[in-house]
Amino acid sequence: MWMHLFVDESERNGYRLVGTLLEPFALHSTRTLMRGLLLPGERRVHFKSEKDSRRKVVVSQLVRAGFRVRLYTRPGRGEAVRAEVLEHLVTDAIALGVTRLVLDSRDVASNKRDRVAIANRTKAREAGLVYEHIQASAEPALWISDAVAWCHGAGSDWRRRVNPLIAEVVEVG
């Protein structure tokens, strides 16, 4: 089975990578749903910038749509922590049959570090896994992972709200 995995991060209260798993047939409807959640003038849904009332509306729509995500977490911050968490995520993605991995683009140097970590620390190439960085404004499926990462990092009621979306939590390290 071909699967796509859309990944975003949060460094709030520890490091998190969240991957939204989507089958190719669901890409169009997912993108349409997510674009429908944009407010006038918005280029993307970005939880860090949204008001609480808006966050609640978006999360309820994500839960209603039945999206499923995998959440990888580890104490700490920074590039070394990210590389370790990314290694686990990619290894699991290959085992799940993911054929395309889309990471939220950061800056040129950070994206390069991700590519090096994936190439050197995983069997992505041998598995035929295609991976790329895309700006979140250009890929609405990334907004799902952003929302879950933010809410999980915020804890309390926000974590409770996104729990129905989380298929698995993997604690790294």
- Which two three-digit tokens encode residue 78? 């920074």
- Which two three-digit tokens encode residue 17? 């990578």
- How confident is the prediction along the chain (173 residues), in pLDDT tens digits per residue? 689 999 999 999 899 999 999 999 999 999 999 999 999 999 999 999 999 999 999 999 999 999 999 999 999 999 999 999 999 999 999 999 999 999 999 999 999 999 999 999 999 999 999 999 999 999 999 999 999 999 999 999 999 999 999 999 999 98
Where do we find the tokens 């499923």?
Answer: 68
Collapsing DSSP states into helix, strand and coil, what is residue 24? Answer: helix
- Which two three-digit tokens encode residue 96? 């799940």
Please provide the DSSP assignment of 68-115 as one string: -EEEEEESS-SHHHHHHHHHHHHHHHHHTTEEEEEEE---HHHHHHHH
Residues paired with residue 134 on neighbouring β-strands, in sequence order: 104
List pLDDT tens digits, range 122-161. Answer: 999 999 999 999 999 999 999 999 999 999 999 999 999 9
Q: How many CA atoms lie within 13 A of 5 on its CB side?
A: 25
The b/e string for 3-35 (b: 16+ C-beta within 10 A; e otherwise) is bbbbbbbbebeebbbbbbbbeeebbeebeebbe
Global pTM reads 0.96
Spell out where the chain has E strands.
3-10, 15-22, 69-74, 98-104, 130-134, 166-171
Nearest to residue 150, comparing CAs of 95, 38, 65, 69? 69
The b/e string for 42-55 (b: 16+ C-beta within 10 A; e otherwise) is eebbbbeebeeeeb
Q: Please give the domain boundaries of the chain with CATH numbers for all domains.
A: 3-171 (3.30.420.10)
